[in-house]
Structure 1
Amino acid sequence: MRILKKIFIVLLAVSGITILLYGCTSNGGDLQKVGMLVENSVHDNAWSKQGYKGLLNINKEFDVEVFYKENIKTKQQVIEAVDELAKDGVNLIFGHSNTYGKYFVELAPSYPEIHFVYFNGGQFGEDVTSLNFNSHAMGFFAGMVAGKMTETGHVGVIGAFEWQPEIEGFYEGVKYQNPEVDVTIQYVNSWNDPKAAMKHYQKMRKNGADVFYPTGDLFSVKVLKKVSSDGLYGIGYVTDQSYIDNRAILTSTVQHVSKLYVRSAEKFNEGKLRGGVLTYDFQDEVISLSKFSPVVPEDFQEKMNDEIEQYKESALLPNER
């Protein structure tokens, strides 16, 4: 990674949206300037922070200017933001949510000089790429840990949405490890509703659940902090959340979003980024389980590490082999 020759920061207010510009020397490749749209703040939650980290890594790796725009939620806001970034010379735009897919597909023909990238969606175009995490397996392995560590025979999932593959995977993993364990699943129907998530948590706890997997950006930390204070177990989401309590947090299902930012920018810079739906998993080193809590038996930790390695080699989960 090269050292940046110069950095300057400019804050601009455009239609109530703050843009942060990092300026530096160009490396002369296809990549000129990079932009990112986020629905809330880049500091709101683990998912957004990972995207912001990826943007900064692009800045350092490729010596190009990067911009971000926060609170871009509606179609009109996306249209205005893309137009402003285009005028600034941006030719690679990341939308840090699946919400942006349909908007990018509509806008792309009007901006043939820009490639659009977003996450976890099925829509694409010639210059629109969707980056997807195959999160079923990470949920499965987390479920195995929960099935092993529950003492009450009851675990709980507090999901954001029903379509999340990690939730189905978690259920399968629990049942593979211990068919006798009850799995309660409740949905918040939002990534960012801690109040609703806590209501589900309290009800599950009252009904005897002692291991929890909260799969929502903004509410996972709040739930896991409560899990820790209540002397129960939890599994982190998106990032390594063992900092909350390295004993109570049994492991975390980690999506290395920032790596995909750099990888996509590299492909674009080399003229190799194509429109379509790209899927990534453990084999691509962008999904992993974090380190295990010391309360997880060492022989089981070794078993889990072995199971993950076998999955990387065969693409088959333990219940499929």
Structure 2
Amino acid sequence: MFNRFGIMLLCLLLLGACGETKTPGKLQKVGLLVPETINDQVWGTKGYKGMLKIQSKFNVDVFYKEGMNSQAVVERAVEEFEQKGVNLIFGHGSEYAEYFNNISKNHPKIHFVSFNGDAKTSNTTSLNFKAHAMGFFGGMIAAHMSKTNKVGVLAAYEWQPEIEGFYQGALAENKKTSVSIEYVGNWDDSTRATQLAHQMLENGVDVVYPAGDGFNVPVIEQVKEKGSYVIGYVSDQSDLGESTVLTSTLQQVDTLYEKVAAQYNDGKLKSGNLSFDFQDNVISLGKFSPLVPKDFIENMNKQINQYKKTGKLPK
């Protein structure tokens, strides 16, 4: 059984750069901490792919550790990374912002990067996806394709900006649309998520947006069995069924990691909280189902390009 707390030899075999020539700049070696696993095919896998991109572009050694879900284990992992010469560490989740705030002063030669948190020290940065527009365009597609005028958002937490975005986008496309919103209260509770999805489907919802990377795959499989539709989340999930997945709202974490590594290598990575949207080419829509009308897809692409230019969503 795979040891989540990481076997660094395995990481070296999988990810270690072979050559000795390094890209000139500040970047030396890079570490990744994930709360669960890199094998979830969604969020964790995205982080792992980001490490592969960094390794390929900068020819540096990269390492990862799984199961990093407490302050104590994070501190031990950071110490190990530092001993190996790592000077840029990505914490793959919002929880790492607090962990890094607490320990960053003890590791001044390392820059710490987290997601969707509040970075408070000079060598910490938090990357925040501006997910409102992402949800908005997903809502437009859901409302357009719904046959019952009932769509649903299955979110992890209330603070997710894509929830309000989805609601507004659905109504912008069709004011007769009824939007159901349910909260799982956890990123990974697939049992509760599928229970809530079942209730939605029983109540006539025929397009579901499972906005939680830890439970969206089982929800998609459940919706597929019912013959209804979904909007994928974080990754392009069209491979789970083009007749089920209308499109996906993509957060291209791997591309963003590569951008951040480049900024750090050039000495241009800012501390504090940074935000990214469609304009930064790290948020987009995925492959469209062949069921979505081509003229509607063309209109969606125009609306997205307009948003990228003006920052204004359709009304």
Is the structural similarity TM-score above 0.5? yes
User: How far did 1:291 drift?
Assistant: 2.1
Q: 1:27 and 2:23 equivalent?
A: yes
Work out the percentage of aligned pairs sharing the same amino acid: 49
Aligned residues of 2:154 and 2:182 also touching (Cα < 8 A): yes
CA deviations 1:109-157 (Å, max 9, x no partner) are 1111000001111233211001111010010000000111111111111
- Of the candidates 206, 211, 214, which is equivalent to residue 210 of structure 1? 206
* 2:303 is the alignment partner of 1:303: no
Whole-Å separation in 2 of the counterparts to 1:18 and 1:160: 31
Query: Is 1:59 matched with 2:48?
Result: no
Q: Is the 8 A contact 1:51 1:258 kept in 2?
A: yes
1:17 correspondence with 2:6 = yes
Name the amino acid aligned to 1:17: G
Q: CA deviation at 1:17?
A: 3.2
Contact 1:45–1:218, Cα closer than 8 Å, also in 2: no
Relative to its length, the structure with more strand (as a share) is 1
Q: 2:280 aligns with which of 268, 278, 284?
A: 284
Aligned to 2:105, which of 85, 89, 109?
Answer: 109
Question: Does the 8 Å CA contact 1:108/1:128 hold for their aligned counterparts?
Answer: yes
Residues 41-52 of structure 1: pairs in structure 2 closer than 5 A: 41-52=37-48
Structure 1 position 157 matched with structure 2 position 114: no
Paired amino acid for 2:6: I
SS at match of 1:17: coil
Name the counterpart of 1:169: 165
Rounded Cα–Cα distance in structure 2 between residues aligned with 1:125 and 1:274: 11
| 2: CA distance, partners of 1:268 / 1:123 | 16
Indicate the SS of the match to 1:167: helix
Q: Secondary structure at the match of 1:273?
A: coil
1:273 alignment partner, one of 252, 269, 276 = 269
TM-score (norm 1): 0.93
Give the deviation of 1:106 after TM superposition.
1.4
Shift of 1:28: 3.8
Q: How does 1:59-208 map to 2 (within 5 A)?
A: 59-208=55-204
Instruction: Assess if the C-alpha contact under 8 Å between 1:124 and 1:130 holds in 2.
Output: no
1:316 counterpart SS class: coil
Unaligned runs of 5+ in 1: 1-12
For residue 4 of structure 1, what is the aligned residue in structure 2?
Answer: none
Give the Cα separation in 2 of the matches to 1:28 and 1:147. Answer: 50
How far residue 84 of structure 1 moved from its aligned partner, in angstroms, is 1.0
1:68 aligned counterpart, secondary structure: strand
* 3-state secondary structure, aligned to 1:243: helix
In structure 2, how many angstroms separate the alpha carbons of the residues matched to 1:301 and 1:217?
Answer: 25
CA contact (8 A) 1:18 1:70 kept: no
1:116 maps to a residue whose letter is F
Query: 1:16 deviation in Å?
Result: 4.9
* Paired residue type of 1:105: N
Query: Partner of 2:237 in structure 1?
Result: 241
Once the 2 structures are TM-superposed, how far is the Cα of residue 216 of structure 1 from its aligned partner?
0.8
Residue 36 of structure 1 pairs with residue 32 of structure 2: yes
Deviations 1:133-187 (A, max 9, x none): 1010010000000111111111111101111111110000011111111111111
CA contact (8 A) 2:5 2:66 kept: no
Q: Distance in 1 between matches of 2:5 and 2:249?
A: 35
Q: Deviations over 1:221-269 (max 9, x none)?
A: 1111121221111110001101011122111000110011111111111
| Number of equivalent positions | 306
Q: Deviations over 1:183-232 (max 9, x none)?
A: 11111111111100000011111111000000111211111112122111
Give me the whole-angstrom Cα distance separating, in 2, the residues matched to 1:78 and 1:203.
38
Aligned counterparts of 1:204 and 1:315: Cα–Cα separation in 2: 33
Q: Could you tell me how far 1:69 is from its partner in structure 2?
A: 0.7
Residue pair 1:234, 1:248 contacting (<8 A) in 2 also? yes
- Tell me which residue corresponds to 2:258: 262
CA distance in 2, matches of 1:253, 1:294: 17
TM-score by length of 2: 0.95
For residues 270-308 of structure 1, give each alpha carbon's deviation from its aligned partner in whole angstroms, at most 9, with x where no partner exists. Answer: 111120111110011000011211111121111111110
